[in-house]
């Protein structure tokens, strides 16, 4: 048989977005990750329950939001921070917003880097993740999932 003809006869595989939608629907109906994996495997979608679990919305509900907390004597609090951490804190304090979804905060820091306020050769988000705990422990920001 010709390989082209054989390829034409193969069923179209569902896209990963279709699989995610199916997982979400089954999750909402009360299926657990093992049940969903079994359901999908019975329909020739090879997936194990661990992979299903990672894709389930219950695992990562909501979006990460960083919230700026006004602290008394902000300048004194950040004085002992490394220069890059000081810039991150200042960028958040001076921004018109006081809470940011993670992608918007990434953009805020990348703009600070591009405009020369945050000096680094690394990605700005990497700098933030390095100093995030310091900023949280100082009470400057906190994280919430919505």
Phi then psi for residue 2, to 5 deg, are -70, 135
Per-residue pLDDT tens for 22-77?
888 888 888 888 999 999 999 888 888 888 888 776 555 567 889 999 888 999 99
Which phi and psi angles does 142 have, rounded to 5°?
A: -140, 160
pLDDT per residue as tens digits for the range 59-72: 555 678 899 998 88
* pLDDT (mean) for 87-110: 91
Query: Where do we find the tokens 């993740």?
Result: 129
For the chain, what percentages of helix, strand and coil (3-state, to nearest 5) are there?
Answer: 55, 10, 35
Residue 97's pLDDT is 83
Does this model's pTM top 0.75? My answer is: no
What pLDDT shows up at residue 28? 81
Distance between CA atoms of residues 39 and 23, nearest Å: 10
């Amino acid at each position: 048989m010709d390989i082209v003809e054989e390829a034409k006869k193969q069923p179209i595989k569902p896209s990963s977005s279709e699989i995610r939608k199916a997982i979400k629907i089954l999750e909402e109906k009360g299926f657990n990750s093992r049940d969903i994996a079994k359901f999908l495997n019975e329909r020739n979608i090879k997936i194990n329950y661990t992979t299903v679990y990672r894709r389930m919305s219950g695992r990562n509900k909501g979006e990460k939001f960083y919230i700026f907390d006004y602290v008394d004597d902000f300048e004194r609090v950040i004085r002992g921070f490394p220069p890059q951490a000081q810039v991150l804190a200042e960028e958040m304090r001076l921004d018109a917003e006081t809470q940011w979804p993670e992608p918007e905060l990434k953009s805020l820091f990348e703009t600070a880097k591009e405009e020369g306020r945050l000096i680094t050769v690394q990605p700005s988000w990497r700098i933030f993740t390095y100093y995030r705990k310091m900023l949280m422990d100082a009470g400057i920001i906190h994280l919430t999932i919505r």
